[in-house]
Structure 1
Amino acid sequence: MFYFQLVIMAGTVVLAYHFEYTNTFPVHLQGFFCYDSAYAKPYPGPEDTSRAPPVLVYSLVTAVPTVTILVGELAAFFLQPERREEKTIISGECCYFNPLLRRIIRFLGIYSFGLFTTTIFANAGQVVTGNQTPHFLSVCRPNYTALGCQAPPGTIYVTDKAACTGNPALVTAARKAFPSKDAALSAYAVAYTVMYVTLVFRLKGSRLAKPSLCLALLCPAFLVGVVRVAEYRNHWSDVLAGFLTGGAIAAFLVTCVVNNFQSSPPTAKKTTPTESSLPSVPVMGLPCVDSSLEKLSVAQFCLLNNPYRMAVL
């Protein structure tokens, strides 16, 4: 079972790589209206020049949950002695993981799987829809005269694949707006971390410490979405779709896969209702005693046990 999970994880990583760095899945070429103001915003520059560059976003979504889970598990392991009583067999009778290592591998492994899954969902949505970014026309640079477009507002819907004369790489990137991948990854990271903090952390003495920590973790994801919209890299609908995608994946993994970060209870021996309800009585030999009932005839015995014997008598 452990090796089967490794195969699934490897397949997820390979699929995410093909979506991100290869042309295995071509982007859908969606048309546009001439002089459409929704896609005529100025080009904000490469992604690396953004106030929330991909390097910073990817570093935060990797480092913040990892550090939070490590700190939480180390604190719980040393402060709660019952955590040390569990033992997990990984492979046969040879490999035993202590509770601390088991939980860290479990939570971080599921988080990594969800991170690549979120990337796949976001890239798949971008490839299938082909929705344009707000600065699409600035990098597309269509020749309106050759396309027969009139002065704005243009009413001609352009579907020609050769309509764009700009840099093909920038045009392809400008067709990947829905949903916002940075927003999806940020939402997934903070949702997973916030649910971990809410369900695992036990802070005594203050009722506002845990909510304040959760709100502080939510702020970076919200700021990423605001920056994406302010720099004309995504529409609000793209950012909201990314938030819903990442949050839904995190909620599903926490609820259905890691069972709200709870340890699996020890399995008890199944007993039948009869065995569980009746006390155990030692079997012992009893002496034989002559009873007067044995001397009664069958008719007298039935008469004594008849509820209507008074009437019969």
Structure 2
Amino acid sequence: MSGMRPGSVCDTTPLQRFESQSSSSEEPSSPTAASIVAAANAGATSNPNHNNNNHVKLDLQMPTFVGGNQRPNGTGPKPMRGPRQIFQRIFVDLCLLSCVGLPMLGFSVWGEPFKRGFFCNDNSLQHPYKESTMRSWVLYLMCGVLPVSVIVVVEFFRAQDKRLRGEKYKTGSGYHICHLELPKWLLECYRKIGIFIFGLGVEQLTTNIAKYAIGRLRPHFFSLCQPVLPDGSTCSDPKNFGLYIEDFACSAVDITSKRMKDVRLSFPSGHASFACYAMLYLAIYLQHRMQWSRCRMLRHLLQFMLLMFAWYTALTRISDYKHHWSDVLAGSCIGLTYAIIVTSTMW
């Protein structure tokens, strides 16, 4: 062409120059987004009169996780764990939970409590039968659903606060499903709830072992069973006073095998151990995680209400004649002990 000076070389596009430079190097490396953008900027500054209609379209393939994949100390990218690692971790946790869940199931289905006898003049076994003030569904709701819900809510709002301050919640969890990284607060919820459920299983297993090994009769034993001796006599006969009776049968027509089994499971109190464990665990959790300065009084109020629920549950087991006072004391100690042990290694 007449406008071209002799010996001049036609300018190439920035991407072509980048490829020629990469092919001439001794150790070719894969182009990164930063190097391609730098090459494009260099071409734009070296040839300002280049026709804009012939610009190069750069298709930058961004990584799946733009943020949250760096180690806290800045040493390199944080390894990401996919669905396989997630399901492996869940499977291992379920196996550990089954170690305490299966024995509990075995106790409830096949277990037989120790057949303890009684004295006919034992006044501690002559209380009337009453329905439970603290129903089982209320106990499950307060000691099962409430702690899980509180943990999810607190961890979510902590994550929002951490993001605003630029702290560790911004790094991500390191787990991803379907090209989406799981948030760090969701991983914290899984850890805290998992520890709570495992401690609850261990506490209930400890309680059941004591129940079936001791076989203590409940305070309403006479009212519910109405025992009859092999000779046809009852505890109202004077000849049976002071005798320790082990061979007897229940004459009550409405008593079932399930109730007969339950009447021997007085020590320790399962309601008291369950309530004390769950409420103390949640109170300690709030103490460590609910640290907003404007919510201190609210936190203390919630802790007081939780502990009062456990206290009231334990007292009703005595007033409803479901347990002896020593049963409730032992159950409460079991629940409190496991709550302290589990939470002490969680932070």
Q: TM-score, normalized by length of structure 1? A: 0.72
Residue number in structure 1 paired with 2:158: 76
Specify the code of the residue in structure 1 equivalent to 2:125: Y
Residue number in structure 2 paired with 1:4: 92
CA RMSD of aligned residues (A): 2.5
Residue number in structure 2 paired with 1:103: 188
Flag the 1:6–1:172 CA change in 2: closer, same or farther, 3 A.
closer
CA distance in 2 between counterparts of 1:152 and 1:41 reads 22
Whether 1:140 aligns to 2:228 is no
Match of 1:124 among 197, 205, 209: 209
Paired residues for 1:83-98 under 5 Å:
83-89=168-174, 97-98=182-183
SS at match of 1:80: helix
CA distance in 2 between counterparts of 1:119 and 1:8 reads 15
Residue number in structure 1 paired with 2:339: 250
Flag the 1:147–1:158 CA change in 2: closer, same or farther, 3 A.
farther
CA displacement at 1:40 relative to structure 2: 0.6
CA distance in 2 between counterparts of 1:125 and 1:86 reads 46
Residue number in structure 1 paired with 2:261: 172
Specify the code of the residue in structure 1 equivalent to 2:138: L
Flag the 1:86–1:16 CA change in 2: closer, same or farther, 3 A.
farther
CA distance in 2 between counterparts of 1:95 and 1:182 reads 42
Specify the code of the residue in structure 2 equivalent to 1:98: P
Specify the code of the residue in structure 2 equivalent to 1:115: L
Match of 1:220 among 309, 329, 335: 309
Residue number in structure 1 paired with 2:123: 37
CA displacement at 1:179 relative to structure 2: 0.8
Residue number in structure 1 paired with 2:241: 154
Match of 1:198 among 279, 287, 310: 287
SS at match of 2:241: coil
CA displacement at 1:233 relative to structure 2: 0.7
Flag the 1:88–1:205 CA change in 2: closer, same or farther, 3 A.
closer
Q: Could you give the per-residue CA deviations for residues 207-236 of structure 1, whole angstroms, max 9, x where no partner exists?
A: 543322211111111111111111111111
Residue number in structure 2 paired with 1:28: 114
Match of 1:184 among 273, 278, 287: 273
Is this contact kept in 2: 1:36–1:153, CA < 8 A? no
Specify the code of the residue in structure 2 equivalent to 1:200: R
CA distance in 1 between counterparts of 2:187 and 2:123 reads 54
Is this contact kept in 2: 1:136–1:174, CA < 8 A? yes
CA displacement at 1:121 relative to structure 2: 1.6
CA distance in 2 between counterparts of 1:86 and 1:181 reads 42
Size of the alignment, in residue pairs?
250
Structure 1 vs Structure 2: percent identity of aligned residues? Answer: 25
Is this contact kept in 2: 1:34–1:152, CA < 8 A? no
CA displacement at 1:171 relative to structure 2: 2.2
CA distance in 1 between counterparts of 2:95 and 2:205 reads 17
